[in-house]
């Protein structure tokens, strides 16, 4: 039988065996302490001369940070804290030594920690972040699975660009030139014609040669697509989705938020509906604080912060100028020059976390857009077929998981949001 720290409450008074790693040690004469972590939690293990043999008490001094061990002892309630337990150790056995563990409790520089990411992920803070990431991913799946969506994952090797050609990651597919997927959207559009409501969820790649706190080269994106949905139904889906994720994290991950010292009062108001601004309204807000902003341009990070700082919930900006949006976006027939898409900006300066909208459903107009964007028509024949055979209005969006994790956890940089980040200038470990 394996026992885990997260379940200690069930074994009070019993002698059990735990397996894990030494997080920290401390001794004060007659008592020695060890903080043991096993991935499910951390527990204080008390070595008291009298409870354990002299040999065990002496061997304690061999234990070093991050060595692995097997330990037996009695589970006790913490004398002061509710729902906290400790172990009165009787014996232990060292399994794997750990000499000169590079990450000590002192402060290390970011580069050092990133070089040691494979070890850094053992720390309490990184553990809390990755637990919340997992909760977010589980809630993404549960949200769509619970609403009749079918998961239809898209390929990673793709012959054509979805999100413009400037940040395409080129690779080879034997002798053919290929790209790593920037987005599964075009494929989700195809499967939505087969299943009605679909989502894809996988890694996506953007060769962005910029070092910002929001850009990864490889990031995970979840992309729902719904046949017959228009851009407004799409925003409704997105706001219900974000409410579900945030509220579920608040409910299930209070300990992790505490570890991160996250001000969760900032997340509590994330309840649908979210405010919506037309691009022109958003620009009016920006111009008051950034008069240099050029109307018609996309927003920079500071512009997004100006907008999001006005609200305590995420805010949609819709109807961006058609000229700055992807080839597949539908132009609004009643608002010429503007696209039927929306971005969702997270509060507290986190900026865009979702991009999406309604797709162009006419073959003729799509052909014009493909030409305008200087894309190769041949690569898009299959995509054009979706308009040739039973075309429908169709809408969907993409949520960047790492940006969501950064915001929900309140982190300064996306590098901590994924186990092994790929950033411009960083591909190790």
Q: CA–CA separation, 418 vs 401, rounded Å? A: 9
By CB under 5 A, which span of 104-112, 307-315, 354-362, 382-390 interacts with Mg ion?
354-362
Least separation in angstroms between CB 422 and Mg ion = 19
Least separation in angstroms between CB 333 and Mg ion = 23
Q: Tell whether residue 355 is a contact of Mg ion (CB under 5 A).
A: yes
Quick one: which of 221, 226, 286, 418 contacts ligand 4AD (CB under 6 A)? 221
Asked if 266 contacts 348 with a C-beta cutoff of 8 angstroms, the reply is yes
Least separation in angstroms between CB 267 and ligand 4AD = 17
- What is the DSSP secondary structure assignment for residue 160, as one 8-state letter? S
Least separation in angstroms between CB 323 and ligand 4AD = 16
Strand partners, 399: 222, 354
By CB under 6 A, which span of 244-252, 259-267, 292-300, 394-402 interacts with ligand 4AD?
394-402
By CB under 5 A, which span of 39-47, 315-323, 352-360, 366-374 interacts with Mg ion?
352-360
Q: Tell whether residue 396 is a contact of ligand 4AD (CB under 6 A).
A: yes
Strand partners, 107: none
Residues 119-178 within binding reach of ligand 4AD (CB under 6 A): 162-163
Nearer to ligand 4AD, 86 or 163 (CB): 163
Asked if 233 contacts 226 with a C-beta cutoff of 8 angstroms, the reply is yes
Residues 190-219 within binding reach of ligand 4AD (CB under 6 A): 206, 208, 215-216, 219
Compose the 349-368 pattern: x for residues touching ligand 4AD by CB under 6 A, - for all others: ---xxxxx------------
Strand locations in 78-168, DSSP E? Answer: 85-96, 150-151, 157-158
Given ligand 4AD, Mg ion, none, residue 359, with its beta carbon under 5 to 8 Å by kind, binds: none
Q: CA–CA separation, 136 vs 267, rounded Å? A: 14
Nearer to ligand 4AD, 16 or 180 (CB): 180
Nearer to ligand 4AD, 163 or 416 (CB): 163
- Residue 145: other Cβ atoms inside 10 A: 12
Q: Tell whether residue 341 is a contact of Mg ion (CB under 5 A).
A: no
- Give, for 397, the enclosing helix (H) or strand (E): strand 394-400
How would you classify the pairing of strands 176-180 and 315-318? unpaired
For the beta sheet containing 351-358, the strands, ordered from the edge strand earlier in sequence to the opposite edge, are: 150-151, 197-205, 218-227, 394-400, 351-358, 341-346, 315-318, 276-278
Nearer to Mg ion, 355 or 421 (CB): 355
The values of phi and psi at residue 47, to 5°, are: -105, 110
Q: Determine the size of the site formed for Mg ion (CB under 5 A).
A: 1
Given Mg ion, ligand 4AD, none, residue 223, with its beta carbon under 5 to 8 Å by kind, binds: ligand 4AD
Q: Tell whether residue 396 is a contact of Mg ion (CB under 5 A).
A: no
In Å, what is the CA distance from 352 to each residue of 203, 210, 214, 262? 18, 16, 9, 20
Residues 223-242 within binding reach of ligand 4AD (CB under 6 A): 223
End-to-end Cα distance, the chain:
35
Q: Which two tokens stand for residue 404?
A: 């969501």
- What is the DSSP secondary structure assignment for residue 299, as one 8-state letter? P
Contacts of 121 (CB under 8 A, 6+ apart): 127, 130, 419
Asked if 285 contacts 279 with a C-beta cutoff of 8 angstroms, the reply is no
Q: CA–CA separation, 232 vs 237, rounded Å? A: 9
Nearer to ligand 4AD, 73 or 347 (CB): 347
Least separation in angstroms between CB 130 and ligand 4AD = 17
Least separation in angstroms between CB 31 and Mg ion = 56
Asked if 208 contacts 163 with a C-beta cutoff of 8 angstroms, the reply is no
Q: Which two tokens stand for residue 94?
A: 């060292």
Given Mg ion, ligand 4AD, none, residue 163, with its beta carbon under 5 to 8 Å by kind, binds: ligand 4AD
Q: Can you give the binding site for Mg ion, defined by CB under 5 A?
A: 355
Binding site for ligand 4AD (CB under 6 A): 162-163, 183, 185, 206, 208, 215-216, 219, 221, 223, 352-356, 396-398, 400, 402-403
């Amino acid at each position: 039988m394996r026992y885990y720290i997260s379940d200690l409450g069930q074994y009070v008074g019993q002698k059990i065996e735990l397996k894990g790693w030494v997080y920290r040690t401390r001794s004060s004469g007659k008592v020695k302490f060890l903080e043991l972590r096993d991935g499910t939690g951390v527990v204080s293990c008390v070595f008291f001369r009298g409870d354990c043999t002299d040999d065990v008490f002496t061997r304690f001094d061999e234990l070093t940070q991050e060595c692995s061990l097997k330990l037996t002892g009695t589970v006790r309630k913490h004398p002061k804290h509710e729902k906290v337990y400790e172990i009165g150790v009787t014996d232990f056995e060292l399994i794997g030594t750990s000499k000169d563990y590079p990450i000590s409790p002192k402060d290390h520089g970011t580069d050092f920690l990133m070089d040691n990411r494979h070890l850094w992920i053992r720390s309490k803070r990184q553990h809390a972040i990755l637990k919340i990431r997992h909760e977010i991913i589980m809630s993404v799946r549960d949200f769509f699975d619970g609403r009749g969506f079918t998961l239809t994952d898209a390929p990673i090797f793709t012959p054509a660009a979805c999100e413009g050609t400037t940040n395409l990651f080129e690779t080879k597919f034997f002798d053919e030139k290929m790209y790593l997927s920037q987005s599964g959207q075009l494929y989700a559009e195809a499967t939505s014609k087969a299943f009605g409501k679909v989502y894809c969820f996988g890694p996506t790649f953007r060769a962005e040669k910029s070092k910002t706190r929001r850009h990864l080269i490889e990031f995970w994106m979840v992309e729902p697509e719904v046949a017959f949905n228009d851009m407004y139904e799409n925003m409704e889906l997105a706001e219900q989705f974000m409410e579900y994720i945030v509220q579920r994290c608040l409910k299930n991950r209070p300990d992790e938020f505490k570890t991160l010292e996250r001000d969760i009062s900032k997340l509590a108001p994330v309840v649908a509906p979210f405010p919506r601004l037309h691009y022109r309204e958003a620009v009016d807000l920006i111009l008051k604080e950034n008069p240099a902003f050029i109307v018609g341009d996309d927003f920079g990070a500071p512009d997004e912060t100006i907008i999001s700082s006005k609200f305590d919930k995420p805010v949609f900006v819709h109807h961006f100028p058609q000229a700055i949006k992807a080839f597949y976006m539908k132009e609004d027939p009643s608002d010429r020059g503007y696209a039927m898409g929306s971005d969702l900006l997270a509060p507290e300066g986190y900026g865009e976390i979702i991009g999406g909208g309604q797709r162009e459903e006419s073959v003729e107009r799509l052909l014009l857009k493909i030409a305008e964007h200087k894309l190769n028509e041949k690569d898009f024949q299959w995509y054009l077929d979706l308009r040739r055979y039973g075309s429908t209005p169709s809408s969907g969006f993409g949520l960047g998981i790492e940006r969501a994790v950064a915001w929900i956890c309140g982190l300064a940089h996306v590098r901590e949001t994924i186990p092994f980040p790929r950033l411009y200038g960083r591909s190790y470990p």
